[in-house]
Amino acid sequence: MNKEKAQQRIKELTDIINENNYKYYVLSQPVLSDYDFDMMLAELIKLEQKYPEFAEPDSPTKRVGGEITKDFQQRTHKYPMLSLSNTYSEQELADFDTRVRKLLPDEEIEYVCELKYDGVSISLTYADGLLDYAVTRGDGVVGDVVTNNVKTIRSVPLKLKGDYPANLEIRGEIFIPLAGFAKFNKERIENGEDPFANPRNAASGSLKMQDSAEVARRPLDCYLYYVLGENLPFDNHYDNLLEARKWGFNVPGYLAKCKNMEEVFEFIRDWDNGRDKLPLEIDGVVVKVNSYRQQEELGETAKSPRWAIAYKFKAERVLTRLNKITYQVGRTGAITPVANLEPVQLAGTTVKRASLHNADIIEALDVREGDMVYVEKGGEIIPKIVGVELGQRPAGSHKLKYIEICPECGTPLVREEGEASHYCPNEESCPPQIKGKIEHFISRKAMNIDSLGEGKVEMLFDKGLIRNVADLYDLNYENLIGLEKTIEASGDKKEKRLSFKEKTVSNILKGLEESKKTPFEKVLFALGIRYVGQTVAKKLARHYRDMDTLMKATFEELVLVDEIGEKIAESIIRFFSEEKNIEIVNRLKEKGLQFEMTESASPKSSKLEGLSIVASGKLQNFTRDEIKKTIEENGGKAVSSVSKKTDYLLAGENIGPNKLAKARELNIPIISEEEFLGMIG
């Protein structure tokens, strides 16, 4: 292919892929199969590698991030990002309508109703159809430039299509859908990290991350709802929003034109009842005067436009008594204060407890035992206390003093700088931490000893038979048979007796023996080292090959391992500096657990010595496990994600576009299955 044809093909592929991205992420109507999409992207990456001078500014290969922003520059908004006046009352909405009509006498007024999305405000500026910069709201006058991070959001167009204005600003909300948030938090918990309190906090934190490649891994989305600029095609808000969809923007369909306040109220009531069916959180409805001319005549105050108002939904709230505050200790030692409430109905369920999160929240609320408190669920799964009815505070009430010692073991609590929670440092003897670590050890994704579930760990702990994970392998028939425990009843349930009979004991011992075959990477994950989740454990196991080598690794050596950052390295060093942890590892070794890569995974040739290879997509001659095994048998390292340390990307059919784009971004050679077979002879 000559240069002229290559340039033409690059443009053609860029346009086709971007059109499919728009139809997939914005319209939910993909036009290409996954296979066709991946093959076109692979072709584009190869062409851009060969002819980088022809890469389009809106190339889809730029979506994977990789830019590092040490300090976020600030930028003044061309049009100030004013906040809206809020109301919770239909009467105040009617008063808003009265004020509008008084300032615009004898004119027809048309309103546009939109949902008020609970995310992070963003302003996008386009020059000649290309995304120029993205700026956060900031203080409304000046915001932070977060362009690199916003470019990773696939529903945000990098280049517009159709008949768009030369200079254009559009505003909207960046958010994380509820399903993506649940999955994201689950992964954080599995990695020993604190979960985010809600989707908005997660979205806000993501936008200010320094590494845009990390942002690309987060399930961010963006709705756009306000067009600004000169030479707009229409003289009203509603029609310009519909036109913005044609330019490629993700303008949500949750909006309506209303001729009067009755229609506005109907829209509000419909969505107040239907908001739980949405894929994201909302907290109200925004009502705007549709005509730009009328907006200009109405003007604005110093803080808010006079032509718009936000109606906030009342989160379902109940008043009940806070009987007692107790404190829970988690597997990592984190302390969570819990409000034990007088049972009350809320959002269709009986609520008896609510989280108080940490000492700072308690201090801010000034909540005390015996108080009548307001409890909400809102968009959150766990009920929370949002206020205190001070008029009903009992006489003689005393300000709550947060605990200073662990409620389970009496150890003084610590609070590290920058941490929201207090921690119990007594990992060795604190019962909830011990039981939590053992429960993690036997879990399905770790050692997978399912015969020890359903309260058996707690029973064995209470009977004094286990105090750490190594004790599990000292269990035998004699000390298990005949053990009994009565489980207290709760609610309408009857009390239950747990008894270790012949079959139960046999299953437990069999499960323990089978677990000795569990591969090294899962054993490493099972140890519960903070921040060492499944993926990190796999990388460490394959890099160091055995536990002894890993235990001797220095901080400087650890951070050189693919995707091992300073926080993870510090945690590993800290874990293996504790004598008790070394003792547990040695005991587990003696019992026959796998603390090195198996012989079958050891190199049989040195043809791939020192090479890190990512294999992705469907291969003709290998399954997923077989290709990893083959790479390792030939002295290479099979890694799962593309980074600057990757030497080759082995691309099969249906390879994910993110890996291809990342490889192209880092100039990593992309090889076919045939080329790989040639490398290993």
Which are the catalytic amino acids? 116
Q: Give the three-state DSSP class for 661.
A: helix
- List 317's β-bridge partners, or say none: 376
Q: Which residue type sits at 65?
A: G
Side-chain-facing half-sphere of 166: CA atoms under 13 Å: 1
Nearest to 77 by CA among 138, 167, 150, 159: 138
Provide φ and ψ at 471, rounded to 5°. Answer: -65, -25
Q: Please report which helix (H) or strand (E) contains residue 132, including its range.
A: strand 130-136
Positions of E strands within 413-531: 484-487, 496-499
Name the 3-class secondary structure at 555: helix
CA–CA dist 369, 338 (Å, integer): 11
Taking alpha carbons only, the member of 113, 81, 626, 93 closest to residue 305 is 81
Instruction: Give me the DSSP letters along 265-297.
Output: HHHHHHHHHHGGGSSS-EEEEEEEE-BHHHHHH
**End-to-end Cα distance, the chain:** 30
Contacts of 531 (CB under 8 A, 6+ apart): 191, 192, 193, 567, 568, 571
Whether residue 309 contacts residue 331, with contact meaning beta carbons closer than 8 Å, is answered with: no
Dist. CA 555–CA 565, nearest whole Å = 10
Query: Going by C-beta distance under 8 Å and a sequence separation of 6 or more, which residues neighbour residue 490?
Result: none
Q: Looking at this protein, which amino acid is placed at residue 459? A: M
Is residue 528 within 8 A of residue 441, CB to CB? The reply is yes
